[in-house]
Structure 1
């Protein structure tokens, strides 16, 4: 079962309590249960949802996974031809058996997940109901989710981060909030008026909420946990979040759609990480982690390699698009190709191998360069990438957003001396007014290279 039996339970035990809030729309546990139950007979064996955030989306999603049904949630911002291609690969709609709003067999698939993509057809993978129950149990224990919490996940429900947060709250009987679309003022209003205690979001959203919240005097002292995914928090975002939400534990975690949760750490109020650190905590409950080479050999502490995971939360694999590399298996260990190393049980993330920069025969991961740069005084945020270079093969370049004016390239280089090895330091620096972001709010290293290559004023050489 993923969450439907639990939804029935909360509707029986707490029918009039608020379950879901989407902007100005609210549903109680009883009204959500009834709305979803009415939709079950209309749901196909495989339902494709491609719409924005709404209470109706929540009810349709619940109905679409009843019994042994499966649901694929597509990003509505994808081009129509891409959505149509996914639909065609999933096959013609077929009726499903059963009309009850209840969970199917634990080992049956209920979710068809998609890797992100806006131009090419994404890979599709499936998840069993039992894998999500195990994920719920692990994340509730790690993040300390309680039924009295009020969670705000202000991003699109088509994103796996937010869809999982919604489902986790349905399982836990915890009030879930989101918005029709992300708006800083609306999130601040929800924190102030609805008593939000928990935020689930990406670092760029946390930066905006924290900095504007401090400027506007928005009281976030009631927020007790902030859960960030997508990339490691930089020093400025951490500092702003600490001041804006002083009583919150800041959680960071590493995971992948195909693997679920892998490792994480929580920074209690007043606790600060080491500058430029790449550590992302210890394995989640029920998860084992090893570093392996490309042949499945186990590597010692401190050696870089494939981050390999063994847990009951791993997906079933791909329906299509499996090239043998995206999700590799060594016995009962799985990897998506992310690179890292272990030291005394703590996992350190270096990034995807495809992002790796090879300069003068040395392997450099942009992620570790970015973390080091973000620890330099005067640097608000940074993005690093590799540019073609006739002598070195590639040269490391970096774009930086300044927290104040007057910083020179020499000052940046000096700031890196204690936190980054010399052969990993950027050759050139560019001033950015803002980070190069995709439509989903993720940093794009390719966009930085495009700006530099085109001589765009968005990336100006730092002397």
Structure 2
């Protein structure tokens, strides 16, 4: 650890400089404490149905027993979970972890190409998928190591008759479940029944065991699995809990979870930290349906909400949001992408609560810096390093720079990942010999120890808080016979923060923007698809032929 930590003087009262990483050996140990303390309290609520901590205990044990007893999985095996926020998610995730296995979170919107890469790379032997996305699994499962597919309908945990109605409407009225045929698939509810037939053995889970393989592009285009150990997640839970603790009343919190739990921000902040506080997590399955989201928020007073800038902006621009009862709300945490000043100021005006900006990465489990919870007004900073965390700004030569100088933000602490799954070279490129994680973000630190992001070193595009890597987009578009050269860049976008813009040199003069967008739709998840396509005669390049993406970032025609 470095000796100078100017940020400690700015810590709010009661926040320790260090946390006890050894208090809990694993995530299940934290869960089990919450079950003992808050057994009868609702833990997760979705579509009006709640499960208590005791019910989560029982159901996750059944799922764990199924994985070990029926499927005979061995410690460290990978189980993929491909679903939006619904009650099955926490049951399955805690079940996998309690069985001593590793969760591989999968974005349910993935195309077959993206899913296949992740399944092959992770070596996942089981995948749990919502019916709506099972067709994608069907398309690639034969070419992956997956040997058991588990399927479930969105209504399956909602009880009768509600669950049956939800499933019927999704399949037959809204036509949101494409037909699929996976003959060997098992239903999620049946796995719970089968799990009851097996005793869940005592599993020794240690700090070094991998809890999650959380896929991210890191600083290059191919999605890589960040190995997040139980120590990493327990540490970040302890760090975030110590930070927000003064604002929280254990056993009384109600947190709105609109960001997907498969994303590291909601997974840790909502799913784990607030679980430690015995909170009730309100799971929003489709936050893009803003009118329905606002209707849900009117149902009961909530105390905390996390989100990305685009989510807060969307809520502020939805009729009826300003009529919600905000009297219980004390915490609004923004991360995943830069919070815009205009949005933060309007949020404070409408809700009376300061929008606190935080900063983190998949590789840091994710929280690295958070602003003080008692911050009176939005300040434009990403905050102070959380307890047991060091941060510094390094120059190109690897030297630590003085306050006020701009360089690459580097992080060191117990929440920094073990490395990238099966990619030692990538790990060595991102974590240096002294243990500093190089974030690829350009930053500066003021004399008080607050950090500010200035720009991104890498060419990553941030769409609604999701990382989009130009290399991946370019590889997909370059597959088109009519494309000679392509560059992908991010351009400012009012709705999503940034949008993908393609600049293409044609090989086929007849190539159209519509054809390019159709090809992208077939091969890329929604948020990775280009919003702008521009054709040019040539692309700007360096003297060694490297495309100069920064010269292409002017907003282009739609």
Q: Report the TM range for the smaller structure's normalisation.
A: 0.7 to 0.9
- Deviation digits for residues 146-166 of structure 1 (CA, Å, limit 9, x no counterpart): 422111111222211122221
Q: Does 1:256 align with 2:361?
A: yes
Q: Does 1:64 align with 2:114?
A: no
Match of 2:38 among 11, 14, 21: 14
Q: Is the 8 A contact 1:86 1:121 kept in 2?
A: no
Q: Is the 8 A contact 1:328 1:336 kept in 2?
A: no
Match of 2:392 among 255, 277, 290: 290
What residue is the counterpart of 1:143 in the other structure?
Answer: 244
Distance 1:296 1:132, change over 3 A: same
Distance 1:434 1:71 in 2: 28
Alignment of 1:245-324 (within 5 A): 245-246=351-352, 248-259=353-364, 260-266=366-372, 268=374, 271-273=377-379, 277=380, 279-321=381-423, 322-323=425-426
Alignment of 1:85-96 (within 5 A): 85-91=117-123, 93=125
Distance 2:273 2:450 in 1: 26
- Deviation digits for residues 389-427 of structure 1 (CA, Å, limit 9, x no counterpart): xxxxxxx997575xxxxxxxxxxxxxxxxxxxxxxxxxx
Distance 2:294 2:202 in 1: 35
Structure having the larger proportion of residues in helix = 2
Deviation at 1:23, TM superposition (A): 2.4
What residue is the counterpart of 1:162 in the other structure?
Answer: 266
Match of 1:5 among 3, 22, 29: 29
Distance 1:440 1:142 in 2: 35
Distance 1:102 1:189, change over 3 A: farther
Give the SS at the match of 1:329. Answer: coil
Distance 1:56 1:337, change over 3 A: same
Alignment of 1:70-219 (within 5 A): 70-91=102-123, 93=125, 99-100=200-201, 104-115=205-216, 121-144=222-245, 145-147=248-250, 148-164=252-268, 165-182=270-287, 183-212=289-318, 217-219=323-325
What residue is the counterpart of 1:327 in the other structure?
Answer: 430
Tell me the TM-score normalized by structure 2.
0.61
Q: Is the 8 A contact 1:61 1:71 kept in 2?
A: yes
Give the SS at the match of 2:368. Answer: strand
Distance 1:292 1:64, change over 3 A: same
Alignment of 1:46-61 (within 5 A): 46-61=78-93
Listed as ranges, the gaps of 5+ residues in structure 1 are 357-365, 368-395, 402-432
Distance 1:310 1:59 in 2: 32
Q: Does 1:40 align with 2:64?
A: yes
Distance 1:189 1:197, change over 3 A: farther
Deviation at 1:9, TM superposition (A): 3.0
Tell me the TM-score normalized by structure 1.
0.73
Calculate the aligned-residue CA RMSD, in Å: 3.6
- Deviation digits for residues 302-326 of structure 1 (CA, Å, limit 9, x no counterpart): 2221111121110000014553676
- Deviation digits for residues 405-463 of structure 1 (CA, Å, limit 9, x no counterpart): xxxxxxxxxxxxxxxxxxxxxxxxxxxx9865479897x8x957646979xxx9679xx
Distance 2:34 2:427 in 1: 42
- Deviation digits for residues 114-172 of structure 1 (CA, Å, limit 9, x no counterpart): 0059x964111211111211111111122234422111111222211122221222233
Deviation at 1:188, TM superposition (A): 2.8
- Deviation digits for residues 51-72 of structure 1 (CA, Å, limit 9, x no counterpart): 2222112111111112431111
Give the SS at the match of 2:357. Answer: strand
Greater Cα offset, 205-214 or 35-44: 205-214
Q: Is the 8 A contact 1:4 1:101 kept in 2?
A: no
Listed as ranges, the gaps of 5+ residues in structure 2 are 1-24, 68-72, 127-146, 148-197, 463-488, 501-523, 538-554
Distance 2:446 2:422 in 1: 36
Deviation at 1:25, TM superposition (A): 2.7
Give the SS at the match of 1:280. Answer: coil
Q: Is the 8 A contact 2:104 2:122 kept in 1?
A: no
Distance 2:79 2:490 in 1: 45
Q: Is the 8 A contact 1:192 1:220 kept in 2?
A: no
Deviation at 1:266, TM superposition (A): 3.9
Distance 1:257 1:281 in 2: 18
Distance 2:377 2:306 in 1: 20
Deviation at 1:226, TM superposition (A): 0.5
Distance 1:171 1:296, change over 3 A: same
Distance 1:348 1:330 in 2: 25
Count of matched residue pairs: 382
Give the SS at the match of 1:258. Answer: helix
Structure having the larger proportion of residues in strand = 1
- Deviation digits for residues 311-354 of structure 1 (CA, Å, limit 9, x no counterpart): 11100000145536762314122212211121211211123212
Deviation at 1:186, TM superposition (A): 3.8
Match of 2:453 among 349, 355, 358: 349
What residue is the counterpart of 2:349 in the other structure?
Answer: 243
Distance 1:68 1:98 in 2: 15
Q: Is the 8 A contact 2:110 2:525 kept in 1?
A: no
